[in-house]
């Protein structure tokens, strides 16, 4: 099958529903009461581990951080066997569920979901008063074709944005951060997640045309162009005019993390506009 066919909306929809049917067939083996998915609400005895091909690639290319803890990563409980929501999507759902009732009640809430994850997008669309838009530069199954370094939305027009696992792909990530600040309303917030390694503070990146093998080894995936360090990631955000809250187990609670299959070292980066002019 050609790449052109695989990128069509009918094929994307077919593949999505085909996978959902296969999950539904296998679901009874996972049903239980110890865990639950906050995205679809299913009670579970276990989540599904990370796919074997990803682990094999890390080993094959000798990822330099293999064996060290990855932040916001639960390889043993990666995805929901019912809706396929990843652990990071479950983490974002917990925060959005917490915050949505606190948002203005007298108007619609404009939320933009960049490179949307299907399970979380379906969960979010059920919120009351939501004005939902999906956006991506390349995907055809979104509403808006958007370059994150040149967002076409007006200034201060977005109440909430979701931007997960995107910035590590973008050469000028600082420009993308400034654009995200520009579109955010003063009362709004954004959810940002990138691959991070516990204990790594400084970002390692390569702007050259590095090989896929090099990127797997140093950045953990063939299409990543950097491995963020936490301190540097936060610094880049603050220099772009964003205030950053780092919400982890102390905010959500250890019991809630366990219940929803989220690793104790998980951190959600919530950003808001800083009135100071960005650097």
179-204: pLDDT as tens digits:
999 999 999 999 999 999 999 999 99
| Range with lowest mean pLDDT among 52-56, 82-86, 121-125 | 52-56
Tokens, residue 93: 């759902």
CA–CA separation, 269 and 83 (whole Å) = 24
pLDDT for res 209: 74
**What's the average model confidence in pLDDT over 228-235?**
97
Q: Is the pLDDT of residue 66 over 80?
A: no
CA–CA separation, 14 and 3 (whole Å) = 15
pLDDT for res 176: 98
Confidence category of residue 67, pLDDT binned at 50, 70, 90: low
Q: DSSP character for 147?
A: B
Q: At how many degrees (to 10) do helices 212-219 and 52-61 cross?
A: 100
CA distances from 218 to 65, 108, 226, 232, 235 (A): 8, 43, 8, 17, 21
Q: Is the pLDDT of residue 10 over 90?
A: no
What class, spelled out in words, does domain 3-273 have in CATH?
A: alpha beta
Q: For strands 184-193 and 158-164, give the pairing.
A: parallel
pLDDT, tens only, 114-144: 999 999 999 999 999 999 999 999 998 999 9
CA–CA separation, 191 and 256 (whole Å) = 19
CA–CA separation, 245 and 235 (whole Å) = 12
- Taking the CB of residue 222, how many other CB atoms lie within 10 A of it? 15
CA–CA separation, 181 and 278 (whole Å) = 9
pLDDT for res 11: 65
Confidence category of residue 155, pLDDT binned at 50, 70, 90: very high
Domain ranges for the chain: 3-273
Confidence category of residue 279, pLDDT binned at 50, 70, 90: low
% of the chain surpassing 70 pLDDT: 94
- Average model confidence (pLDDT) across the chain: 92
| Range with lowest mean pLDDT among 67-71, 183-187, 271-275 | 67-71
**What's the average model confidence in pLDDT over 2-18?**
70
Residue with tokens 């370094």: 149
pLDDT for res 275: 78
Q: DSSP character for 211?
A: -
pLDDT, tens only, 105-116: 999 999 999 999
CA distances from 259 to 109, 150, 212, 273 (A): 29, 39, 37, 32
Please report, to the nearest 10 degrees, the dihedral formed by the alpha carbons of residues 255, 258, 260, 265 taken in order: 100
pLDDT for res 172: 96
CA–CA separation, 144 and 134 (whole Å) = 6
User: How far is residue 232 CA from its own chain's centroid?
Assistant: 19
């Amino acid at each position: 099958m050609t790449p052109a066919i695989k990128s069509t909306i009918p094929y994307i929809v077919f593949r999505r529903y085909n996978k959902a049917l296969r999950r539904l067939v296998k679901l009874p083996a996972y049903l239980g009461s110890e865990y639950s998915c906050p995205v679809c609400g299913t009670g579970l005895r276990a989540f599904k581990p990370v796919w074997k091909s990803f682990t094999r690639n890390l080993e094959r290319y000798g990822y330099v951080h293999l064996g060290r803890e990855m932040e916001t990563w639960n390889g043993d409980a990666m995805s929901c066997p019912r809706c396929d929501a990843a652990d990071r999507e479950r983490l974002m759902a917990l925060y959005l569920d917490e915050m949505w009732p606190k948002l203005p009640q007298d108007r619609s809430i404009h939320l933009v979901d960049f490179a949307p994850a299907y399970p979380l997008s379906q969960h979010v669309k059920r919120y009351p008063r939501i004005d939902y838009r999906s956006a991506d530069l390349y995907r055809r199954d979104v509403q808006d074709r958007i370059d994150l370094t040149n967002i076409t939305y007006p200034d201060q027009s977005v109440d909430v944005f979701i931007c997960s696992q995107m910035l590590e792909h973008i050469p000028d990530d600082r420009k993308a951060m400034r654009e995200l600040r520009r579109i955010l309303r003063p009362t709004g917030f954004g959810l940002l997640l990138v691959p991070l390694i516990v204990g790594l503070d400084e970002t390692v990146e390569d702007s050259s045309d590095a090989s896929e093998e090099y990127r797997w080894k140093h950045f953990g995936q063939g299409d990543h162009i950097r491995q963020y360090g936490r301190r540097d990631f936060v610094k880049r955000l603050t220099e772009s005019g964003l205030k950053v809250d780092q919400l982890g187990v102390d905010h959500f609670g250890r019991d809630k993390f366990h219940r929803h299959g989220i690793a104790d070292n998980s951190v959600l980066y919530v950003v808001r506009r800083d009135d100071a002019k960005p650097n």
